[in-house]
Amino acid sequence: MCVCVSLSLKCKIDRSMKLQIALLLAVTIIGTGHAAKFPSAFSQCKQEDATCLLQAVTATFRNFHKGVPEIGLVPLDPLRIDKMDIIQGDGPINIVLNFRKVDLLGFSEAQIKKASGFTANPTKMDMSLLVPVASLVGGYKINGKVLILPIQGEGASNMTMVNCDISLKWTGNLVERNGKQFYQVDKFKVHFDTTRFYMNFTNLFNGDKALGDNMNVFLNDNWQDILKELKPAISAAFTKIFEAVVSNVFNKVPYSELYLA
């Protein structure tokens, strides 16, 4: 049986900023009680084998970035985000920025630097990865003010980060379900840094090319100040996205079956 699950995720950043994300995940449900069916080329490790785990996670990003429905792993590159809204109400940046049907690209080239906490009785886990070029590409609508300039438009967008260093940390515990133990995520947090942030928005100011080109130049000349203001919202977006991806696998496969016996 094939089930499409639409996760509508909301979080408030603070009084002046809120973010809404809807991530569309397509998963295949396998009958309860059956062992997880991993692809023959899928790498598995013994628990607490750190070296093997780094290699296995890297191989998953490289070789299975189109997803593994048998274990609940959604496509990672591109990772489709159906809806993401960023609303920031005051400060140097005051905008309503809506993304629709955007793709997060570049994670098939991720370099896994750390993966820890994958023990027999897990509580805290964390993973660090470096994505050489990560891009969010798709439709947008924006209205508001960026630093000293008004901004308005609707069209196609590309927001790209170079050397995107991402840290994922989460806590949880094992819970019993249908006679088997599954890892249940409780809290999840993502932090990131980047050496360069590029932005491009088409059809700004109702298609006025001169104004639009000047605004894109302004945005990229001031990327550090802009990123500083938007970083909490982007981190919150990454948190909701990757929490959904990770939880989908843990909810699908009994914890012990993720590893070699």
Q: What DSSP assignment string belongs to the chain?
A: -EEEEEEEEEEEEETTEEEEEEEEEEEE---TTPPP---TT-----TT-HHHHHHHHHHHHHH-TT-BGGGTBPP-SSEEEEEEEEEE-SSSEEEEEEEEEEEEE-GGG-EEEEEE---SS--EEEEEEEEEEEEEEEEEEEEEEETTEEEEEEEEEEEEEEEEEEEEEEEEEEEEETTEEEEEEEEEEEEEE-SEEEEEESSBGGG-HHHHHHHHHHHHHTHHHHHHHHHHHHHHHHHHHHHHHHHHHHHHS-GGGGS--
Domain that holds residue 232: 48-258
Asked if residue 243 is part of any domain, the answer here is yes
For residue 85, is pLDDT > 60?
A: yes
The region of weakest confidence among 20-29, 91-100, 115-124, 209-218 is 20-29
pLDDT digits (tens, 9 = 90+) for 103-144: 999 999 999 999 999 999 999 999 999 999 999 999 999 999
pLDDT digits (tens, 9 = 90+) for 159-184: 999 999 999 999 999 999 999 999 99
Asked if residue 155 is part of any domain, the answer here is yes
Asked if residue 118 is part of any domain, the answer here is yes
pLDDT at 142: 97
Beta-carbon contacts of residue 49 (< 8 Å; ≥ 6 apart) = none
Q: Long-range pairs for 218-224 at CB < 8 Å and ≥24 separation?
A: 218/146, 218/149, 219/146, 222/147, 223/196, 223/197, 223/198, 223/199, 224/197
Q: How many angstroms separate the first and last alpha carbons of the chain?
A: 29
For residue 8, is pLDDT > 60?
A: no
The number of domains in the chain is 1
For the beta carbon of residue 187, count every other beta carbon within 10 angstroms: 11
CA–CA separation, 127 and 58 (whole Å): 11
Asked if residue 112 is part of any domain, the answer here is yes
What is the rounded average pLDDT of the residues 217-246?
91
What is the rounded average pLDDT of the residues 55-84?
90
Entry pTM? 0.83
Asked if residue 248 is part of any domain, the answer here is yes
* Better-predicted residue by pLDDT, 86 or 131: 131
Give CA separation, 191 vs 20, 199, 233, in Å: 18, 20, 11
For tokens 């989460």, the residue is: 170
For tokens 């991720």, the residue is: 110
pLDDT digits (tens, 9 = 90+) for 15-61: 344 455 454 443 333 333 445 678 878 888 888 888 898 898 899 99
What is the rounded average pLDDT of the residues 74-101?
88
Asked if residue 6 is part of any domain, the answer here is no
Tokens describing residue 99:
């993304």
CATH code for position 156:
3.15.10.30
Asked if residue 224 is part of any domain, the answer here is yes
Answer for the pair 157, 141: CB distance below 8 angstroms, yes or no: no
Asked if residue 39 is part of any domain, the answer here is no
